[in-house]
Amino acid sequence: MRTAIYPGSFDPVHLGHLDLIMRAEKLVDQLTVAVLQNPTKGCSFSVHERMEMLQSVTQHLPHVKVTSFEGLLVDFAKKQKANFIIRGIRAFSDFEYEFQMALVNRKLASDLETIFLMPKEKYSAVSSKLIREIGFFGGDLSEFCPKELLPKISAHLKNRKP
């Protein structure tokens, strides 16, 4: 069985994330979307809220499971019996960081492969950080976030630290 993990903070989930989830789901038998619990990273949404949002937008995808993890990704991947890590690449700057992480993960777990996926061009500029900034100032997020999550994300981000 081909199992993959798509890890991230998903703070908040956006259309670029959803695009990668739908692309990755076609490549494997089971895709685990794993929300990182990192207390040092000040997230706008709780782990529970991020998982709920992901579950809401992926419930129609039968091979997708949403969970959370903390610690090293390779340790989590071993526990999940994953074969692959899915990572999104929007620009060359993403590739440099992701390439470093893939090499380190390979040293820590040589049997775990990293697959890089590019989102559709229209999502290549979308990032959670950008969404938090636009939301903070009350901007229109409809081009960036799943429509069913727009009210929740917009209300939550308005006048909150980006």
63 is catalytic: no
Strand, coil or helix: what is 76?
helix
Which one of the listed residues 9, 14, 17, 50 is annotated catalytic? 17
* DSSP one-letter code for 148: G
128 is catalytic: yes
129 is catalytic: no
Which one of the listed residues 90, 106, 152, 156 is annotated catalytic? 90
Strand, coil or helix: what is 28?
coil
> Which tokens in the block code for residue 20?
């990668």
Which one of the listed residues 9, 23, 44, 128 is annotated catalytic? 128
| Torsion on CA atoms 73, 74, 78, 83, rounded to nearest 10 | 100
60 is catalytic: no
Which one of the listed residues 41, 81, 107, 161 is annotated catalytic? 41
Q: Which residues are catalytic?
A: 17, 41, 90, 128
